């Protein structure tokens, strides 16, 4: 099996317990202050013979005819003469930031919807981008940039290929219509957590109340914190919201393991703990026991180095005997020991599944492709 299997152990060497601090702005957003997605359909012109085949892409031909007629060029009755391959139909998408004002410029992305082979060297003609309400908010136009990947060395073998049917028009979108949203029209603001959690929501509310007089913050559910705006702060609401964003809190996360079976990657959270269990893998036998710490501290048969390694839960060797580690050790320490012994990541994945099935692993196992 030639595919490379990778094992990523997260949080195995540093302690990111509940004492870890992070800013509120990194785990939550203010309700109503968000991006708005826009979409449109346009034409990219100026391609070097890599555009749509008009016989196969009727919508491209129709779009071209409509464009020429708007320019007062009549091509009706001469449709069969339109054989150019220098144009391509594309979908145009953009994300309109909150509080974007008229005349502001944003990046837009273009993607082919026909059989064009490349957008390299093309120019997007002016295209209106509409929102969910059908209104035009942005007009996009400009040169299309297509990413190019080149290996540093010719000796590098890679399966990464250039995708030239997607491109970006940097600063090509000009805001024509603003989103109607004004701060300060209400007596309260709300924070929405990026990941809902009752403990984290309560911690955010407590931290805000510790910084703002009057118990202004209340956690109303696992993902929303309501904050009452003090009367003396309505005039400087932007500064008030900035101060809230900078408050340090201790978020709480569920014990979780992320497994990518296609790549063999394992990511383990710091809160994952293991219960007493015996594991046999080939000629490796491991016993996770509550008595190991006592044995490592009292046994006269162990020297200081062996006692120290055993108490840390890393004394793993291949052989026929059972090797024990302390059940207070984290799963990341166990996996680190298995990895050092050369146990393949896919075998470790099977071990984790089986530990979960027998109740020796208190964590959510999430499998991704």
pLDDT at 358: 81
- Mean model confidence pLDDT for the chain: 77
Map residue 35 onto helix, strand or coil. Answer: coil
252-275 confidence digits (pLDDT tens): 877 888 887 677 677 877 777 777
Residue 290 confidence class, pLDDT cut points 50, 70, 90: low
Q: Which residue has the higher pLDDT, 87 or 342?
A: 87
Alpha-carbon span 282 to 359, nearest angstrom: 22
pLDDT at 178: 85
Contacts of 273 (CB under 8 A, 6+ apart): 255, 328, 330, 331, 362
Q: Percent of the chain, pLDDT > 90?
A: 27
Domain boundaries, the chain: 22-33+182-249, 36-175, 256-368
Listed range (14-23, 49-58, 92-101, 289-298) with the worst mean pLDDT: 289-298
- Per-residue pLDDT at 117 exceeds 60: yes
91-113 confidence digits (pLDDT tens): 999 999 888 889 999 999 999 99
Alpha-carbon span 216 to 99, nearest angstrom: 26
pLDDT at 65: 83
Cβ atoms of 2 and 340 within 8 Å: the answer is: no
pTM for the full model? 0.60
Nearest-10 Cα torsion for 275, 278, 279, 282: 170
| Tokens standing for residue 160 | 């990464």
Please tell me the class of the 22-33+182-249 domain. Answer: alpha beta
Q: What is the mean pLDDT of the segment spanning 298-324?
A: 45
pLDDT at 18: 43
Listed range (32-41, 123-132, 142-151) with the worst mean pLDDT: 142-151
pLDDT at 309: 45
Query: The tokens 């309260």 sit on which residue?
Result: 188
For helices 345-357 and 331-340, the axis angle rounded to 10 degrees is 150
Listed range (238-242, 273-277, 312-316, 329-333) with the worst mean pLDDT: 312-316
Cβ atoms of 112 and 165 within 8 Å: the answer is: yes
């Amino acid at each position: 099996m030639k595919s490379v299997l990778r094992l990523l152990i997260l949080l195995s060497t540093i302690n990111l317990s509940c004492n870890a601090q992070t800013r509120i702005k990194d785990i939550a957003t203010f309700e109503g202050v968000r991006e708005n997605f826009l979409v449109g359909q346009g034409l990219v012109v100026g391609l070097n013979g890599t555009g749509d085949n008009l016989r196969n892409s009727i919508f491209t031909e129709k779009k071209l005819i409509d464009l020429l007629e708007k320019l007062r060029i009549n091509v009706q009755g001469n449709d069969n003469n339109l054989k150019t391959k220098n144009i391509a139909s594309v979908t145009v998408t953009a994300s309109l930031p909150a509080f974007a004002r008229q005349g502001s410029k944003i990046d837009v992305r273009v993607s082919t919807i026909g059989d064009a082979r490349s957008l390299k060297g093309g120019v997007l003609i002016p295209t209106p981008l509409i929102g969910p309400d059908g209104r035009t908010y942005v007009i996009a136009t400009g040169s299309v940039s297509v990413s190019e990947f080149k290996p540093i060395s010719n000796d590098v073998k890679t399966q990464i290929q250039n995708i030239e049917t997607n491109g970006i028009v940097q600063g090509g979108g000009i805001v024509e219509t603003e989103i109607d949203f004004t701060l300060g029209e209400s007596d309260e603001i709300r924070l929405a957590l990026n990941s809902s959690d009752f403990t984290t929501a309560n911690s955010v509310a407590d931290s805000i109340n510790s910084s703002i007089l009057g118990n202004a913050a209340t956690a109303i559910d696992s993902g929303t914190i309501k904050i009452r705006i003090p009367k003396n702060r309505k005039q400087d609401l932007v500064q008030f919201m900035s101060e809230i964003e900078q408050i340090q809190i201790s978020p709480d996360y569920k014990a979780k393991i992320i497994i990518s079976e296609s790549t063999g990657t394992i990511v383990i959270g710091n809160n994952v703990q293991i219960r007493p269990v015996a594991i046999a893998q080939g000629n490796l036998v491991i016993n996770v026991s509550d008595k190991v710490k006592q044995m490592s501290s009292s046994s006269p048969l162990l020297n200081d180095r062996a006692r120290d390694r055993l108490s840390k839960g890393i004394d793993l060797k291949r052989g026929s005997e059972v090797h024990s580690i302390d059940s207070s050790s984290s799963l990341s320490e166990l996996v680190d020991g298995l990895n050092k012994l050369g146990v393949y990541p896919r075998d470790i994945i099977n071990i984790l599944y089986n530990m979960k099935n027998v109740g020796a692993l208190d964590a959510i196992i999430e499998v991704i492709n």
